[in-house]
């Protein structure tokens, strides 16, 4: 349904814009109905840029994104609006998505004005009630209230309901959990799970490995714009190959297991570099079914176990 092919983003930075930074490089994946892909990375990994390119908020520098067979970069006018009927995003900070001067349900009214101008009041109210029910909110609890009268979890769920008012097929969820408290976090995650069962495809962008692991079918680990490891979530988390993935996993604070213990379990040396051991030209090599790994170099200027330095000239 949604296909991302070798997508990249180059930002020009510096006073004269003559320094180039590759925010995202050569990322490819496909997303079908009811699938959840989690994009995991630390700050500066390009995970948010990737989400913004899918939402067409940022144009891609290289590569293509196709949705239902059409290149989204070419969409204009009505076709673009139709794209947004099916692909929507929800972002990290629910408070900044609302204008504090207006009531929170204005986000619904704007969808009505923009996409359903012909719908009758009664039909619209049914639609809103259904969307709110899908995110487990009641109209009495949230409608006709100002943003400051609602909790972060309620506001975040209203934004998901807003996306559901349109018949969306893909949701880009960028760090939507990280601002929420532990007791409401899991409810929003379970909600995404329910939506997935109804056939919604989700790009779940997060820095939190535990959250990504809980909800997704497939996982992409990004490091400074490059995919270092990807594949089925169970394979990536159960048998991490890349030293970067291992370092992330051993740094996540866990309950019932101390850092030292986790690190000790991941100590066996990584072995040969799957990319350079066979002289492969591809950036990612399959090490097991549904499990791909990039060159094992610990950084751009460090050699991999097979002595090859990746050395991207632009970093």
Partner 1 sequence: MGLQVTGLKVYYRTLRGDVRAVDDVTFGVEDGEIMGLAGESGSGKSTLGKSLIRMDSRMRHVAGRVDLDHKELPIADDEDMREFRFKEVSLIPQYAMSALNPTRRIGRMIEELLRSRGIPFDDVRSELNRRLELVGLDPEVLTRYPIELSGGMRQRTVMVLATLLDPSLLIADEITSALDVSTQRAVAEALVGFRDRGFVDSLIVITHDISLVYQIADTIMVMYAGKLAEKAPTEVLVNTPRHPYTQALLSALPEVGVRYEGKRLAGIPGSPPSLRNPPAGCRFAARCPLAFGKCAEEPPFVEIEPGHFAACWKAS
Rounded least distance, CB 34 to partner 1, Å: 12
215 contacts partner 1 (rule: CB under 8 A) = yes
Which residues between 32 and 71 bind partner 1 (CB under 8 A)? Answer: 42-43
Closest CB to partner 1 among residues 75, 189: 189
Q: Quote the CA–CA distance of 49 and 241 in Å, as a whole number.
A: 25
Are residues 250 and 259 in contact, defined by beta-carbon separation less than 8 angstroms? yes
Q: Quote the CA–CA distance of 209 and 283 in Å, as a whole number.
A: 23
Q: Which tokens sit at 141?
A: 């609890």
313 contacts partner 1 (rule: CB under 8 A) = no
247 contacts partner 1 (rule: CB under 8 A) = yes
92 contacts partner 1 (rule: CB under 8 A) = no
Which residues between 142 and 181 bind partner 1 (CB under 8 A)? Answer: 151-152, 181
In a 3-state reduction of DSSP, which class is residue 11? strand
Q: Quote the CA–CA distance of 61 and 32 in Å, as a whole number.
A: 24
Rounded least distance, CB 219 to partner 1, Å: 12
Which residues on adjacent β-strands are paired with residue 303? 309
Closest CB to partner 1 among residues 52, 185: 185
Are residues 242 and 296 in contact, defined by beta-carbon separation less than 8 angstroms? yes
Can you give the C-alpha Rg of the chain in angstroms?
Answer: 21
233 contacts partner 1 (rule: CB under 8 A) = yes
Q: 10 burial class (0-12, 13-18, 19+ CB within 10 angstroms)? A: middle
The residue within the footprint of partner 1, chosen from 253, 279, 289, 307 (CB under 8 A), is 253
Q: Which tokens sit at 169?
A: 């097929």
Binding segment for partner 1 among 6-14, 156-164, 220-228, 247-255 (CB under 8 A)? 247-255
Rounded least distance, CB 67 to partner 1, Å: 25
List interacting residues with partner 1 (CB under 8 A).
Answer: 42-43, 151-152, 181-187, 189-190, 193, 207, 209-211, 213-215, 233-234, 237, 247-249, 251-256, 258-259
């Amino acid at each position: 349904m949604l296909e991302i092919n070798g997508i990249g983003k180059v930002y020009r930075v510096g006073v004269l814009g003559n320094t180039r930074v590759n925010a995202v490089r050569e990322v490819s994946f496909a997303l079908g109905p009811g699938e959840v892909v989690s994009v995991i990375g630390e700050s500066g990994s390009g995970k948010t840029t990737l989400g913004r390119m899918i939402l067409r908020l940022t144009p891609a520098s290289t590569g293509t994104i196709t949705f239902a067979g059409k290149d989204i970069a070419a969409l204009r006018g009505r076709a673009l609006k139709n794209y947004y009927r099916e692909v929507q995003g929800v972002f990290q900070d629910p408070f900044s998505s609302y204008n504090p001067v207006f009531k929170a349900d204005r986000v619904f009214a704007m969808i009505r004005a923009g996409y359903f101008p012909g719908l009758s009041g009664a039909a619209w109210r049914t639609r809103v009630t259904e969307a709110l029910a899908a995110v487990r909110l009641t109209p009495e609890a949230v409608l006709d209230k100002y943003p400051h009268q609602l909790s972060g979890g309620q506001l975040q769920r209203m934004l998901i309901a807003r996306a559901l008012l349109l018949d969306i097929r893909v949701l880009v969820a960028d760090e939507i959990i990280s601002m929420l408290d532990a007791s409401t976090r899991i409810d929003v995650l379970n909600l995404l799970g329910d939506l997935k069962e109804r056939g919604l495809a989700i790009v779940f962008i997060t820095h939190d490995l535990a959250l990504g692991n809980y909800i997704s079918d497939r996982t992409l680990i990004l490091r400074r714009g490059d995919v270092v490891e990807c594949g089925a979530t169970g394979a990536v988390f159960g048998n991490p190959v890349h030293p970067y993935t291992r370092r992330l996993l051993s740094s996540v604070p866990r309950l019932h297991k101390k850092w030292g213990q986790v690190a000790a379990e991941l100590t066996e040396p990584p072995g040969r570099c799957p990319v350079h051991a066979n002289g492969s030209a591809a950036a990612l090599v399959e090490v097991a079914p549904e499990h791909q790994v990039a060159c094992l170099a610990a950084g751009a200027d460090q050699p991999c176990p097979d002595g090859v330095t990746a050395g991207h000239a632009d970093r």
